[in-house]
Structure 1
Amino acid sequence: MEKPLFLYALCGSQRKASTNRRLLEALRDNAPAGVVVEICELIGELPIFNPDREGENTPAIVEEFAAKIRAANGIIVACPEYAHGLPGGLKNALDWLVSRDEVPFKPAMIAHASHRGDFALEQLTEVLKTMSLRLVDEAFLKISLLGKTDGGQSDVLAEAVKSGLLVSVLVKFCAAINRVGV
């Protein structure tokens, strides 16, 4: 039996009622056979990045986070826009990975749960490219959940499941991963 593809999802929002987290949960819950999506629970626990704490001084939780990134066949990133920028916790998590070898050329896809947020999307794209992640543009997912009631969000996500949108983007992402044999 073939080993499933492991996708590690980073949510920029740490809110319990985050629309981006809800979108990642929908991707996880509707992943096609042979694909496992795990949502990172470590971002809010990471200490503030400090280059003096790299190498032999790297905190254990950062090593745990990096090990998950290393094990992943691909990374899914979803984040809101805060004051025209990336959420600090997500940027901090990414900063911990900059000088490490887990991310160069690792496939990444962006999922976005809002009808707005272009500043954050531009910044996120720039940061991920600068870190040498391989963005899979054909797997970009944008579903507007922001500003909707819980029921409205459920309806939008149910339609995305019914239409095959969620599975489709994951299939495209996995195909891109498989093309390079990551």
Structure 2
Amino acid sequence: MNEIKVLAISGSLRQKSSNTALMNAIIGLAPENMKFTIYGGLGDLPHFNPDLDVDEGPASVRELRTQLREADGVLLCTPEYGNGVPGVLKNALDWLVSTTVFMNKPTAVISASPSPMGGDKAHASLLLTLKMIHAKIVDRGILIIPYITMKMNKGGAITDNELKQELLSVLQELEQACFLKQEETGSA
């Protein structure tokens, strides 16, 4: 199969974030043809200001947009803060509203939390924003994971077999959507 480039984004800046650990575990489950780039600039983006969004915007914003433009698909893993999307992730998405870099981009969206709700409010809000910027949310590529800390060990490995199978399905769906997108655009 063709190589598929996926941009992986964690919605958390916390060094020991369970969502970042989950994102890394998912990358470890991916087939060899899926090549991941982990976006590490979430904390470097300036606060969104339309007055700064001229001539491609600040350097950190240009870098985010370039990485998205070059990716065949996107994997988002995010916690929930204060019943919503973490501010740094929402800020990044706000910088993308005036562009088409997310348009029809196959995207898998995972929210995980140590709570019983799994980050459902952040997940719902994130999906609304992604749909507004025309991301292509992958069928069966969305997942809410409650009690994430009970499903991974301290080393970041997934210990819950049911979760592992769900994540493999998400990866398969994302891979297929990216492959179809490549065929449509002739980049396969």
**Are the equivalent residues in 1 in contact too, given 2:7–2:75 (CA < 8 A)?**
yes
Seen in structure 2, the aligned counterparts of structure 1 residues 143 and 93 have a Cα distance that, compared at 3 Å, is: same
Q: Which amino acid aligns with 1:55?
A: V
Amino acid at match of 1:60: A
The alignment yields a C-alpha RMSD, in angstroms, of 2.4
Equivalent residue runs for 1:38-117 within 5 Å = 38-56=37-55, 58-114=57-113, 115-116=116-117, 117=119
User: How much has 1:124 moved relative to structure 2?
Assistant: 0.5
Letter of the 1:19 counterpart:
S
Instruction: Report the AA paired with residue 100 of structure 2.
Output: D
CA distance in 2 between counterparts of 1:20 and 1:137 reads: 21
Unaligned runs of 5+ in 1: none
Determine the C-alpha separation between the residues in 2 that align with 1:82 and 1:153.
Answer: 24
Aligned residue number for residue 167 of structure 1: 168
1:101 offset after TM fit, Å?
1.9
With structure 1 as the length reference, what TM-score do the two structures score?
Answer: 0.88
Deviation of 1:178 after TM superposition, in Å, equals 1.7
The number of residue pairs the alignment matches comes to: 180
Distance in 1 (CA, whole Å) between partners of 2:105 and 2:56 is 25
The AA in structure 2 aligned to 1:140 is: I
Which residue does 1:151 correspond to in 2? 153
Shift of 1:57: 6.5
Map of 1:137 onto structure 2: 139
Please list every run of at least 4 consecutive aligned residues from structure 1 whose deviation after the TM superposition is greater than 6 angstroms: none
More displaced 10-residue stretch of structure 1: 18-27 or 137-146: 137-146
Residues 1-42 of structure 1: CA deviation (Å, up to 9, x unaligned)? x65101111111110111110110011122101001222100
> Is the contact between residue 28 and residue 38 of structure 1 (CA under 8 Å) also seen in structure 2?
no
Q: Residues 84 and 30 of structure 1: is their aligned pair in 2 closer, same or farther, counting only changes over 3 Å? A: same
Q: How far is 1:147 from its partner? A: 4.5
Q: Secondary structure at the match of 1:32?
A: coil
Q: Secondary structure at the match of 2:153?
A: helix
Q: Cα distance, 1:166 vs. partner?
A: 3.1
2:123 counterpart residue number: 121
Say whether the 8 Å CA contact 1:81–1:120 is kept in structure 2.
yes
**1:137 corresponds to which letter in structure 2?**
D
Pick closer, same or farther for the CA change 1:149–1:105 going to 2, 3 Å. Answer: closer
Identity %: 33
**Shift of residue 137 of structure 1?**
2.9
8 A contact 1:32–1:167 mirrored in 2: no
Code of the residue aligned with 2:50 in structure 1: it is P
